[in-house]
A = this chain, B = another copy of it.
């Protein structure tokens, strides 16, 4: 009887790597030290904790296989340190250092974001369905990661509706404004948002190094007539526009640290009695691959202190203003209704609002959820529904 074509069908040692061919024809190059480091035996790895038990002290970077056996289940390797390891085909293929396996894990980590301009329409979700149907919750999580924005309809008229939805997902990211924060016109306000003034496009809380990942903006009461309209734009879209059209501006904004600050006193009992935050990073934050990972824009909390030589300041402002114009030119304007709860990727999308009458009963509540927790829930739901990419 012909053996099934599965497992590892051939392997060859070359350049500190095992070159393997799997039964389905795919190949992989597996570095020796990586294979030994990731031995899946109970001595090296805990299946209960899903964590590596092998200590760094005990890993020999020069470790070599002394014997390799291709099995129907995968690979067996005997090592120069006397240890013996077994690896399943599936485990190896998932981690075979091929462009495909690397790309798959990149998506498991974080989904590819899809930039959008002024023509964008937010996808609608129903509050109660999000609270009761995990498939819809997963759809919201996928939408938020890809589009950075979604509208939740029919939120209950209570100030903790945002936190309750967040607690259903994971838990609230607290700030010095409390677990949720009423955006209303109030006297002696500790934040310009808590007045009736127009608010320029901004991300929330850039005075935090750990800016909140997702903002939940719930409308408990809207201002009737003109005023109070929301303005929303995709900072990722604008940043890529800037990079394309004004690469020098992009360079300045992504390499120059700005301070943001937020100082004040409590308006409500659950707030900290006094706060004085300062954070410092570029307005456009990129990672080592020059990918945009965070936008931080806020005219309200942009610090008057600047850590620049004075001769570079005007050039900085000019770049910043041009970026702001792109942000504005690609924004959408709409008016939230009572029961609406807008959800935005706060390190990507910016929001603002038009001014409204001082004696309005307009009442917005904001609360936050971190991306660490949102992505965590997305992965768990993808596993639950067997739809992991």
Contacts and interface: CB of A to CB of B under 8 A. Distances in A.
Interface of A: 15-17, 29-34, 37-38, 46, 48-57, 59, 61, 94-95, 97, 101-102, 105-106, 108-110, 170-171, 174, 176, 188-192, 194-195, 197-198, 200-201, 208-210, 255-257, 259, 261-264, 272, 274-282, 287-288, 299-302, 304-311, 313-314, 317-318, 320-321, 324, 328, 370-373, 375-376, 379-380, 383
Given A109-B278, A324-B56, A49 B97 contact: no
Contacts of A282: 288
A383 to B, nearest CB: 7
Contacts of A34: 304, 306, 313-314, 317
How would you classify the secondary structure of chain A's contact residues: helix, strand, loop or mixed?
Answer: mixed
Contacts of A102: 305, 307
A303 to B, nearest CB: 8
Given A33-B317, A170-B176, A276-B383, 9 more contacts: A34-B317, A49-B190, A49-B264, A56-B324, A59-B321, A94-B305, A171-B272, A210-B210, A257-B288
A192 B310 contact: no
A310 B49 contact: no
A380 B110 CA distance: 37
A313 B49 contact: no
19 contacts: A15-B311, A29-B310, A49-B300, A51-B191, A51-B301, A52-B302, A55-B200, A56-B299, A56-B324, A97-B308, A105-B305, A170-B176, A176-B376, A210-B210, A256-B288, A274-B380, A276-B376, A278-B375, A279-B372
Contacts of A307: 102, 105-106
Nearest to A371: B209
Nearest to A257: B288
Contact of A208 (B190, B191, B372): B372
Given A38-B304, A52-B299, A33 B314 contact: yes
A17 to B, nearest CB: 6
B61 A314 contact: yes
A375 B105 CA distance: 35
B310 A188 contact: no
Given A170-B272, A282-B288, A379-B278, A200 B57 contact: yes
Given A97-B306, A321-B59, A192 B51 contact: yes
Contact of A109 (B61, B262, B280): B280
B97 A313 contact: yes
Given A209-B371, A305-B95, A192 B276 contact: no
Nearest to A270: B171
A48 B105 CA distance: 48
A31 to B, nearest CB: 4
The 10 closest A-B pairs by CB, nearest first: A31-B313, A51-B300, A97-B310, A276-B379, A29-B310, A38-B304, A51-B192, A105-B305, A210-B210, A109-B278
